[in-house]
Amino acid sequence: MNIKITPGPLKGCIHSISSKSHAHRLMIAASLCADFCQVSISDMNEDLEATENCLSQLNDLFPVFNCNESGSTLRFMLPLSMALKDKAVFLGAGRLPERPISPLKEEMESHGCTFTKGTDSPQNSTGNTQQIFTVTGRLKGGVYNLPGNVSSQYITGLLFALPLLKENSTINITSNLESSSYVMLTLEVLKLFGIIIEVYKAPQVQDEPLYSFIIKGNQQYISPGKVSAEGDWSNAAFFIVADALSCLAHNVSTPSVTCLHLNPDSAQGDKEILSFVETVRKTRHSNEKLVFDVSDVPDLVPVLAVLAASRQGTTEIINAGRLRIKESDRLATVYEMISHLGGNITELPEGLVIHGTGKLKGGWVNGHNDHRIVMAAAIASILCTEPVIIQGTEAVNKSYPKFFQDFAHLGGKYNVL
């Protein structure tokens, strides 16, 4: 679906949707409890539905897990399923079959699992869904060594799985732990469900902190009875930036857009958007160069680039190399988005440099089947002097199906082409 947005400020109040990151973790933990646990999630999306469907097959002898396009689902379910099963088939769609799974794959292989590509042809492997691999062999405990700068989701998957094994285990993080807030969120959920993980942070080695997670085997997930997914800072970030841009458009300092049900004490790292916005507010009319390190909050980059375009001056986004293996190559697609809208941006191997002028022109944007590119382009329309046309807006269904409903509720004007 393609839409055309007429530029204009947003104003009003919306209810923040449930955190996808928190909901994934609550759903998984609840499914592992002997007693029933009610998980309250106010808003579902395609990624959460993928996890829900996979968890429903945990009682099957040889499950076929269709992870759709959800990297979180695949990376969480891989170690978890092999802690419980002798064989499982994993399917995926979109870019998921192409996205890397190393070094988690190699660590699982050294602990009892075998990965095979193309040996099964499940009946539900249809459309753009394809088999990624078949995994056989039970996961074993022991020592796991993982770099911390590839994907925190590998660590989370193992943290869910290893307490279920007979043996004790240790996860050693051999390099700087990026996206550490997501690991801390996992640990919070595990503690809520009675799982004990000991965390050790070693002294700095070559300026990089190292972590070890000590995990006893034979633990049991204990139902807390009822849990609720908190509000999502990742997706609220788009409307938090929309508030900043709308205030600029009206030349006012009072909030124009309010997002309810966000936990200020959340472990979600993307609440960092508040400090990014405040920094840009203070330097909007200066020529001061800003440098934003996004190693812990990579999902903010698309909307952060839009925010950077709203100020006069240069903003550099660093430590964002992992964005090249998301739903799209997000460094390339953010560069294309800002360029097509008339902005001045430079793409670097692991980051971006935005030369802000305080405004954008408008134009045509390819969503590249990436929900965060589509939403960022919609918010960028606030800065534009001419309409913005976005191709493939259905991509928002991955994380925020009612995004354009909320956009319209706040006064956003668009029509379907």
The binding site for 3-phosphoshikimate comprises 20-21, 25, 151-153, 179, 299, 326
Instruction: Confirm whether 299 is a catalytic residue.
Output: yes
In the annotated binding site for phosphoenolpyruvate, the residues are 20, 71, 99, 153, 330, 372, 398
What are 229's two structure tokens?
């997914």
Using alpha carbons only, how large is the chain's radius of gyration in Å?
A: 22
Query: φ and ψ at 353, to 5 degrees?
Result: -125, 120
What are 316's two structure tokens?
């550099």
Catalytic entry in 232, 270, 299, 370: 299
Q: Is 343 helix (H, G, I), strand (E, B) or coil?
A: coil
DSSP 165: S
C-alpha count within 13 angstroms, C-beta hemisphere, residue 258: 6
Residue 291 CA to residue 304 CA, distance in Å, equals 11
Q: How does 131-150 read in b/e, with b if 16+ C-beta sit within 10 Å?
A: bbbbbbbebbbeebebebbb
DSSP result, 11-54: -EEEEPPBPHHHHHHHHHHHHTBSS--EEE-S---HHHHHHHHH
Contact 107, 140 (CB under 8 A): no
Cα separation values, 234 from 179, 268, 297, 315, 372, Å:
13, 8, 9, 21, 10
Residue 165 CA to residue 187 CA, distance in Å, equals 18
Cα separation values, 91 from 82, 125, 126, Å:
15, 7, 10
In the annotated binding site, the residues are 20-21, 25, 71, 99, 151-153, 179, 299, 326, 330, 372, 398
Residues catalogued as catalytic: 299
